[in-house]
Amino acid sequence: MAVRFDVITLFPELFAPFQSVGVTRRAHESRVVDTRLWQLRDFADGNYRRVDDRSFGGGPGMVMLVEPLQRCLQAIRADQAAAASPRLPVVLFSPAGKPLTQQRVQQLAQGPGAVLLCGRYEGVDQRFIDAHVDEEISLGDYVLSGGELPALTLIDAVARLQPGVLHAAASHEQDSFSDGLLDCPHYSRPEVLSLAAEGDLPERDVAVPPVLLSGHHAHIARWRREQQLRLTATRRPELIEAARARGELSKQDEHFLAQLAL
């Protein structure tokens, strides 16, 4: 069964190019991801199809109105029922939401999907959020012009976890955050690369780490694990602590981390 996303947006044209390339194209062509776009203005009243108004209490910015959103959601629910789809949770992209994590992406990838509400302007009338929104998600501690980019990000992250979408089925298992840590470095051909330096520095030869050419799978696996630990401890030490709290670090991992701290 496909993962279904119903996207409520004022700019559906942003999604078409994204769905025609790479991972998301394969996901949609193979029908493991079904993205349906709903133009919010189609559910607004009047000649101007207005979907926003001034905020009570004053202040800058406009607020998205409840009525068009409710009509759009009702149409989505009817379409889901006609397709024998279960009721999908409504996700609002908002700076006030919980940060999106790989763990949450994995949960969504294994579920039936979601209704993705792409907010605009100052925000969405809180009464609609209280009545209909099941979850608020943020990409980080910054503000975007709307929810379309977060929606595209979520769809892409979910799509690449679907069976048959990636050429190598195990690729996503080695991604950063899949096991709670950052990914290790990767290398390809040639084995020795001449890098031209900037300024007055001379050109230098840089080789692939010898262990990756050894053919010894156990040594390669350990080297990659240690690179993960080194990179994560340096850049995201809180992820090391979280993995430790979950009991996911071996004695060998802890010994390596202790050596790093020396």
> What amino acid positions are annotated as catalytic residues?
95, 122, 160, 175
Q: Helices marked H in 180-250 — which ranges? A: 217-235, 237-245
| DSSP symbol at 146 | B
